[in-house]
Amino acid sequence: MTDQTKDRVLIFDTTLRDGEQSPGATMSHAEKLEIAGMLDEMGVDIIEAGFPIASIGDFEAVKAIAEQTERATICGLARANTKDIDRCWEAVRHAKSPRIHTFIGTSPLHRAIPDLTQDQMADRIHETVTHARNLCDNVQWSPMDATRTEWDYLKRVVEIAINAGATTINIPDTVGYTAPVESADLIRRLIAEIDGAEDIVFATHCHNDLGMATANSLAAVEGGARQIECTINGLGERAGNTALEEVVMALRVRGDIMPYRTSIDTTKIINISRKVATVSGFPVQYNKAIVGKNAFAHESGIHQDGMLKNAETFEIMRPEDIGLKETNLVLGKHSGRAALRAKLKDLGFDLADNQLSDIFVRFKALADRKKEVYDDDLEALMRDQSGSDGERIKLKFLRVICGTEAPQTADLTLEVDGDDLQVTAHGDGPVDAAFNAVKELFPHEARLQLYQVHAVTEGTDAQATVSVRMEENGRLVTGQSADTDTVVASVKAYIHALNRLLLRREQSGGDVKQVSYKDVG
């Protein structure tokens, strides 16, 4: 590592790979390309675009991202075998800066899965890293579950990977087991005791099972790591990954004690946070650091008084630093396209003309039903992906009968693959009746795991944002929608989830089957 790079921390984003593995968070091909473009534009150094061997869809997405990306290094993931590595190289080879990331589980628990001895695994690491390096001069290697691997063996296999040609060594805390002091000491010790360590980049990849992913990543940087693997909004399996926005803003705000820099344009954080929340179907919790709805909100009288006198009293960073602008409810049914575009841009949404046309139609429909359209209403419209072009199932008509006396009934018309289908169904309440009607028109075996309703704003005319999560044969999908009518929002979210389920079926139906043992951290 040169003197010029000692204070430089590379940001390796794995939202499109590890983040997408979060149950129910599968993204479409177009959504992956859009997010990759936003990551590149914001200054991410390395984009892990996917796991090419996992499916035809994953391969095509990684390949397209590699071909379109202007600046960032594009990385694909591969298990420790030549078939995976060859497939990965085929996907990333046309990137301006390609990288192969290969891994194997090195802890006793993970060694037992392929049933390899320590020596057998060491031989495989040497062979596969050498094979990857013969294809690509930028090779990253990861000992999965490194933080639970015996020290002597971890040191041995890291040395083997470096000697075989790995240029980046990633140390994953795969199950979120470690603590900050251990995270720093592990990196520091590897660098100190391994020959050739000074010539490669050490990376950290932390999961949040104990809520310490950000702290562990920053501690690893203190120990000498110069690459942080992370995801937007901390998206990822189980409790998630290190959140990109948290480590980046921590390094920016606390440069006095962590004198390291990144290439991230932080003013683009809020926009990509919202985009990832929308396409993944995973809303950001209100009290989430940096990007949560309440991150810059103050209700306490003491806090409000302090903020009025000096914002720095209770804010260690400015909303503008992450691209958030302080705006309020000025739009209504008489507002035009220019006003809507300006407002959305203030909120962090920079739309193309065709996107603006779509949202403008929905904005007008909402404004006709509400006296005032709040910023939160607009954000809900942007998150609402139901009724997108290309969906096989669309809501055409819904009428429900409910109350203390009347039977709970739903009259529903759906467009399914271009045909209009109609049914009347009953249920235990209007939502249950409507869901039963959907199931009659589009029979399926998916099980509803989650049904959640949130009011977007205050008042009886507030929009409801509904999230549903469904499971079918191990596939998890999430759907979201917003509407001033809670039952309509519920049905649209349910249909959105079904459309995503159909997409999952298509993506896993290619020649290469979805693999299960694909987690690197």
- What residues form the annotated binding site? 18, 205, 207, 241
Q: How far apart are CA 425 and CA 328, in angstroms?
A: 42
Residue numbers in the known binding site for Mn(2+) are 18, 205, 207, 241
Q: How far is CA 395 from CA 348, 441, 467, in A?
A: 29, 11, 17
Maximal CA-CA distance, the chain: 79
SS3 485: coil
Please classify residue 404 by burial: count the beta carbons closer than 10 Å to its beta carbon, then call 0-12 exposed, 13-18 middle and 19+ buried: exposed
Whose CA is closest to 226, among 195, 258, 254, 257?
258
Q: What are the tokens at 139?
A: 């090779």
Identify any residues that bridge with 98 across adjacent strands, giving them in sequence order: 74
User: How many of the other CB atoms lie within 10 Å of CB of 213?
Assistant: 29
Contact residues for 439 (Cβ-Cβ < 8 A; gap 6+):
none
Identify any residues that bridge with 228 across adjacent strands, giving them in sequence order: 11, 204
Cβ atoms of 132 and 100 within 8 Å: the answer is: yes
Q: How far apart are CA 359 and CA 506, in angstroms?
A: 28
Q: How far apart are CA 461 and CA 464, in angstroms?
A: 9
Whose CA is closest to 122, among 171, 67, 172, 80?
80
Q: Which long-range contacts (CB under 8 A, 24 or more apart) does 56-62 make?
A: 56/507, 56/510, 56/511, 56/512, 57/29, 57/506, 57/507, 57/508, 57/510, 58/507, 59/87, 59/90, 59/91, 59/512, 60/29, 61/16, 61/29, 61/32, 61/33, 62/88, 62/91, 62/92
Q: In what order do the strands lie in the sheet with 419-426?
A: 393-401, 409-416, 419-426
Q: How far apart are CA 320 and CA 252, in angstroms?
A: 14
Cβ atoms of 78 and 88 within 8 Å: the answer is: yes
